[in-house]
Amino acid sequence: MRLLVNIDHIATLRNARGEGYPDPVEGARVCEEAGAAGIVFHLRGDRRHIRDEDVRNLKVNVNGILDFEMAATEEMIGICLETDPHLCTLVPEGREELTTEGGLNMEYVFDDYKNRVFPKFKETGIEISLFLDPNPRDIELAHKLGADAIELHTGNFANAASKEAKLKELKRLVKGSELIHEAGMAVNAGHGLNLENLPILIKEVPHLREVSIGHALISQSIYWGLEKTVKAYLSLMDAE
Ligand code: PXP
């Protein structure tokens, strides 16, 4: 299983003072040197963290997997095609949200993705991953569209208020992962993952190809340093 580190919040910290540091590209380099398989960034319409020049610099400097997370707007599709990352993860994006709040509603986006979005990626070699809640109907429609991978939204699992709710969500993730795998798509997972809940997820959910982790990892690195924190995640993943 691969660890992809989301470096958005290194840019959040940089932007808080309008200085050139900390540099998300330098952060990406440290993560890769520590053993991360790749880097994720979310270029939002409002550019609240990652900026266009970061994308260009990440493309040149990241050696492993580059995952471009974005909303499927015309603007973002244009930048993504120019950037040519390994993977494009499509997410819903709300202007007021603090972070991505849930998976795509496939019934809602299906026709638009089929007619406008997916044709633009055809024959580009960029893998398309859709960020979904573990709903069988959403997974079925993603498969029908020809998605290469699904990133399962783990936020409800991570933030469940009770043990029962956590277990219930974990079961949904297990079922969702099995459906994705059976349909021949790769299984990714992300949102709200940390050193505490990741071992449970990895132990219970089969077929995971990669996890995408940002906020908790970057936060922990303030105390431990980025290299040590990435290594802690990796050794935890190795142990499971
Ligand atoms: N995956 C997706 C699709 C996301 O939108 C995010 C948040 O940017 C993450 C993973 C990482 O979530 P977190 O920052 O909670 O680790």
Q: What is the pLDDT of residue 70?
A: 97
Residue from 31, 100, 194 to probe ligand 1 pocket by mutation (most atoms less than 8 Å from CB): 100
Q: What is the pLDDT of residue 152?
A: 98
**Lowest-confidence range among 22-26, 78-82, 99-103, 223-227?**
99-103
Separation of 118 CA from ligand 1 center, angstroms? 22
Residue 239: band (very low, low, confident or very high) from pLDDT cuts 50, 70, 90: confident
pLDDT tens track for 123-139 = 999 999 999 999 999 99
Residue 101: band (very low, low, confident or very high) from pLDDT cuts 50, 70, 90: confident
Higher per-residue confidence, 94 vs 34: 34
Domain that holds residue 6: 2-239
Separation of 187 CA from ligand 1 center, angstroms? 15
Report the percentage of the chain scoring pLDDT > 70: 99
| Res 95 pLDDT > 80 | no
- C-alpha atoms less than 13 angstroms from C-alpha of 130 in its C-beta half-sphere: 27
Beta strands at 208-213 and 127-132: parallel, antiparallel or unpaired: unpaired
Residue type, 117: V
What residue owns the CA closest to ligand 1's atom 1?
Answer: 190
Please, is 102 exposed, middle or buried when counting C-beta atoms within 10 Å of its C-beta (0-12, 13-18, 19+)? middle
Residue 99: band (very low, low, confident or very high) from pLDDT cuts 50, 70, 90: confident
| Res 65 pLDDT > 80 | yes
Contact 221 CB / ligand 1 (< 6 Å): no
Q: What is the pLDDT of residue 223?
A: 98
Residue 224: band (very low, low, confident or very high) from pLDDT cuts 50, 70, 90: very high
| Short-list 185, 88, 175, CA closest to 141 | 185
Contact 215 CB / ligand 1 (< 6 Å): yes
Rounded mean pLDDT of the chain?
Answer: 96
Catalytic amino acids?
42, 69, 191
Does the CA dihedral 11-5-196-236 come out positive or negative?
A: negative
Which CATH number belongs to the domain containing residue 167 in this structure?
A: 3.20.20.70
Contact 197 CB / ligand 1 (< 6 Å): no
Residue type, 25: V
Residue type, 60: V
Q: What is the pLDDT of residue 17?
A: 94
Beta strands at 65-70 and 87-90: parallel, antiparallel or unpaired: parallel
Q: What is the pLDDT of residue 100?
A: 73
Residue from 99, 131, 133, 198 to probe ligand 1 pocket by mutation (most atoms less than 8 Å from CB): 99
Q: What is the pLDDT of residue 18?
A: 85
Q: What is the mean pLDDT of residues 139-144?
A: 98
Q: Encode 126-138: b = buried (16+ Cβ within 10 Å), e = exposed.
A: bbbbbbbbbbeeb
| Res 190 pLDDT > 80 | yes
Separation of 231 CA from ligand 1 center, angstroms? 19
Ligand 1 atom, smallest distance to 191 CA: 12
Model pTM?
Answer: 0.96
Ligand 1 atom, smallest distance to 217 CA: 16
Q: What is the mean pLDDT of residues 160-168?
A: 96
The CA distance from 66 to 131, in Å, is 16
In sequence order, which ranges of the chain are alpha helices (DSSP H)? 8-17, 24-33, 52-61, 74-83, 106-112, 118-121, 136-145, 155-158, 163-182, 198-204, 215-224, 226-239
Give me the number of domains the chain comprises. Answer: 1
Residue from 6, 48, 129 to probe ligand 1 pocket by mutation (most atoms less than 8 Å from CB): 6
